[in-house]
Structures are given as C-alpha cells and as structure tokens.
Amino acid sequence: MERYAWKATVKEGKLAEYKRRHDEIWPEMVEVLKEAGICNYSIWNVGNELFGYYECEKGAEFAAKVQAESPVVDRWNEYMKDVMVMEMDPVTGAQPKLVEVFRLD
C-alpha cells in the first residue's frame, strides 16, 4: 500500500474554521476519498502549518486521478480557499506529494 503526505497552510485566524469544516466534511467528499482507495487519512497542524497523511489502497496515482476528475473535490477545494493556501501540482491536481526520507517499520 502506498502512502501519501502533503502540506499546506491555514490562513491567519482561520484554524478553528478549518477544523469545523473538517468536522462537518461532506458525505460526498468522503465517498470520493473512499472511491479513490484512500484510507487511514489524518491531518495534523502546528501553528498555521498543516501536514496530511493517507494510505492509498489502489496506489497514489489512482488516488490522484480519481480526485483530479471529481467535481466534488473541485467544489471542496473552492470551499476551502478562504481558510487555507494550497499549492497544487499542475499534473495531478493535488497537493504535491512530500518525499519520504525515513521510515521505521
């Protein structure tokens, strides 16, 4: 199973709103993530920095493709624009994947 990690920034004073929106994540967004084979998804923060991690049951390339083709993901990203800054990979349409430099199994 492939792992995927990303980073982003919450806009100043918007962390509580960012958390609220994820507490109320749209059911259709959850469905897209599951369709993409995404599981064990968590998002962490320190200050205004975000770190996201998930596992891809069907591979990271498949997960990126499903998300890039989803109008639900497009709407979610638009919805989140006022609370966070995301740099998107022009090829995948997702946050650039962080490079793993260490792993202890």
The CATH code of the domain that includes 31 is 3.30.70.100
Structural domain tally of the chain?
1
On whether residue 94 sits in a domain, the answer given is no
Query: Is 91 inside a domain boundary?
Result: no
Q: Is residue 103 part of a domain?
A: no
Residue 102 within a domain: no
Q: pLDDT tens string for the chain (105 positions)?
A: 999 999 999 999 999 999 999 999 999 999 999 999 999 999 999 999 999 999 999 999 999 899 989 999 999 999 999 999 988 777 766 777 889 999 998
Does residue 25 lie in a domain region? yes
Q: Decide if 54 is inside a domain.
A: yes
- Position 33 scores a pLDDT of 97
Q: Is the whole model's pTM more than 0.75, yes or no?
A: yes
- Active-site residues, by number, are 22
Containing structural domain, residue 35? 2-85
How far apart CA 71 and CA 56 sit, in angstroms, is 20
